[in-house]
A and B are shown apart, each in its own frame.
Chain A
Amino acid sequence: MPLYNRLKEFRARIDVNQQQMGALVGVSRQTISQIERGDYSPSVTLALKIAKVFDAKVEDIFDYVDDGTDK
């Protein structure tokens, strides 16, 4: 998957677990887990909400690298 993220790292900085992170951005714990494992790419809205939680830019947390798998 070409979308890489540092969500787990950012989450650790403010000491919130996946459940709490999900509550902050309005999604389930499972979705946060899927995003961190790269199994799910969040929508633009969700990515912006996540970035807002950390007072960071989306590009600080998510990175797109074209590895040829995204068709």
Chain B
Amino acid sequence: MNNDTNSIINDVVTSDKEQIENAIIKEDKTKLKGFFILLLISFIGGGVVGALMAAMDDTNIIMSIADAVIAFIEGISVYVSAVLAVVALPVFIVLYTKARKEYEAWDGEDEEQYKAIDGKLSMMLFISSIVMIISYVFMITGFGRLMSIGKSQSMLFWISFAFLIGGFVAVTVVITIAQQKAVNLGRAMNPEKRGSVFDTKFQKKWIKSCDEAEKKMIHEAAFAAYKATNTAIMIIWFLCLAGTIMFDIGILPVLIIGVIWMVQTVAYFVKGMQLEKR
């Protein structure tokens, strides 16, 4: 064995539990000061922001802005899905047509060509997911709008209803076909992949057909999503606090955020503990 290897082995042998714990405590002590300063800044900053919010609340500026935003969202809600279907369709057609053309010309090995095609297919799936989330959200706000219109205004109610339901059906059809086309072309490029988008077990079959490198990518992307969601939850929690103080939004929003936060955290830790036991 060379000198470097012997040195590493000697370091491991001589480090006992007390030395390891002392090193950990020493690191904690060096970071503690910065942690307390950050806490102090957060408390002071929170107090300043809270005071500003209270002052602005006195002038009803925030309430006016909030009312205007809510009115706008409610006003457009019933039309959003229909507009999304009309806007997304040509985008998907362009992306898929280009990807298809490049796939026909692909020699089966050129990595740059593969990446170009895969990039377009990934973009199709990304856009379809974003469109789906937006349409789902505005489906609910749209129903809220319908309730506020009421059947007493029957003409407006039924026109809005038609736009809302028809638009939702149309956008669902558009994104389903886009996803099916993208997945099928992806499968043609990667014949070992399994799963039809119409199969309820699609995700399970797709993951099972992924190899070690692909699973590594999926796991890294999933962890990035977990971290981003954690940050988003903290921000939304803070907004719920501000909303409760200033607008009396009720407890439902923070309860929903709490449920999502709890599910994410429990799922992460349960899986982690299961993996450790293997």
- Interface of A toward B, CB cutoff 8 Å: 17-19, 22-23, 26-31, 33-34, 37, 40, 42-43, 46
Number of contacts between A and B (CB, 8 Å)?
43
| SS class, residues of chain A in contact with chain B | helix
Closest Cβ of chain A to B216, distance in Å, is 8
In this complex, what residue of B is CB-closest to A34?
Answer: B213
Q: Could you list 15 A-B pairs, sorted by A, with CB under 8 Å?
A: A18-B109, A27-B212, A28-B190, A28-B192, A28-B193, A28-B213, A30-B190, A30-B213, A31-B211, A31-B213, A31-B214, A33-B114, A34-B213, A42-B212, A42-B213
Q: Which residues of B contact A29 (CB under 8 A)?
A: 108-109, 190
| Closest-CB distance, A21 to chain B (whole angstroms) | 10
Q: 8 Å CB contacts to A: which residues of B90-118?
A: 108-109, 111, 114
Report the Cα distance A36→B216, complex, angstroms: 17
> A22 contacts which chain B residues (CB < 8 A)?
192, 211
Chain B residues, Cβ within 8 Å of A17:
108-109
The distance in angstroms between the C-alpha atoms of A31 and B210, with both chains bound, is 10
Chain A residues near B114 (CB-CB < 8 A):
30, 33
Q: Given A17-B108, A18-B109, do A23 and B213 touch, yes or no (CB 8 Å)?
A: no
Looking at the complex, which one of A18, A23, A31, A37 makes contact with B212 (CB distance below 8 Å)? A31
Contacts of B193 in A (CB 8 A): 28
Question: In the complex, what's the smallest C-beta–C-beta distance from B4 to chain A, in angstroms?
Answer: 9
Q: Is the CB of A26 within 8 A of B190?
A: no
Q: Which residues of A contact B111 (CB under 8 A)?
A: 33, 37
Closest to B193 in A: A28
- Whether the Cβ atoms of A46 and B212 lie closer than 8 Å is yes
Q: Which residues of B contact A37 (CB under 8 A)?
A: 111
Q: Please determine whether B190 and A23 come into contact, CB atoms closer than 8 angstroms.
A: no
